[in-house]
Amino acid sequence: MKTLLTEKELQKTMDRMAVAVLKAHRPFRDILLVGVQTRGVALARRLKERLEKKIKEELPMGILDINLYRDDLSTVGEFPLVKRTEIPIAIQGKGVILVDDVLYTGRTVRAAMDAVMDLGRPRFIELAVLVDRGGRELPISANYTGKVYKAKAGDNVKVMFQETDGHEKVVVKQM
């Protein structure tokens, strides 16, 4: 097992991502962070905290479960448990920034975009990910990337957060 980001590096990476998001949107208005269950939500919360400190106002944040939009439902043995989706404000006309922990095949992001579109017509959709591990199977790329890591097919890039895993770091479990 290899550590990709220590806790300290993880914090700094998220600081940088928040700055990049702010830079891209001046003035920063009508933007909604949407975390993809489960670790995307934890990451979105951390970005939200950082952004709020800078803009000095509360930022809305949504939670998205993409299981109903997966493209492999007919092939997976059991249907995955559908978790909570919770979008606090109307998506119509908002700029949506999807937040997820790891970008791999791009299929989750495709599903997330469909899920968002079913809730309304956003002004735009962007993507923020902590780790881009390569291996895309769809023409998708992130607007904000914390760390690029060329993983092998069997590697498991695992982002850990306090509330989901008990501590904060990013590791790679190699085959």
Partner 1 sequence: MTPFNRKHILSTKDLEVSEVEEILASAKSFKEVLSRDIKKVPPLRGKTVINLFFEDSTRTKTSFEIAGKTLSADVINISKGGSSVSKGETLLDTARTLEAMGPNILVVRSKQSGLPLRLSQALHCSVINAGDGFHEHPTQALLDLYTILEQRPTVAGLRVAIVGDIAHSRVARSNIYLLKKMGAELVLVGPGSLLPKEVEDFGVTATSDLLEGIRSADVIMVLRIQRERLGLPFFPSNQEYSHFFGIDREKLKLCKKDVLILHPGPVNRGIEISPDVADGSHSLILDQVANGVALRMALLYLLAK
How near is the Cβ of 154 to partner 1 at its closest, in Å? 24
Interatomic CA distance for residues 36 and 41, integer angstroms: 6
Q: Using CB under 8 A, which residues numbered 73 to 112 contact partner 1?
A: 73-74, 77-79, 81-86
Nearer to partner 1, 82 or 148 (CB): 82
What letter would DSSP give residue 68? Answer: G
Is there binding between residue 118 and partner 1 (CB under 8 A)?
yes
Q: Among residues 55, 61, 11, 48, which one has the least CA distance to residue 169?
A: 11
How near is the Cβ of 32 to partner 1 at its closest, in Å? 16
Query: Which of these ranges, 20-28, 62-70, 99-107, 153-161, lies near partner 1 under the rule CB under 8 A?
Result: 62-70
One character per residue 8-47, x = contact with partner 1 (rule: CB under 8 A)? ----------------------------------------
Distance from chain centroid for Cα 70: 16
Buried b (16+ CB within 10 A) or exposed e, 30-45: ebbbbbbbebbbbbbb
Residue numbers at the binding site for partner 1 (CB under 8 A): 65, 67-70, 73-74, 77-79, 81-86, 114, 118-120
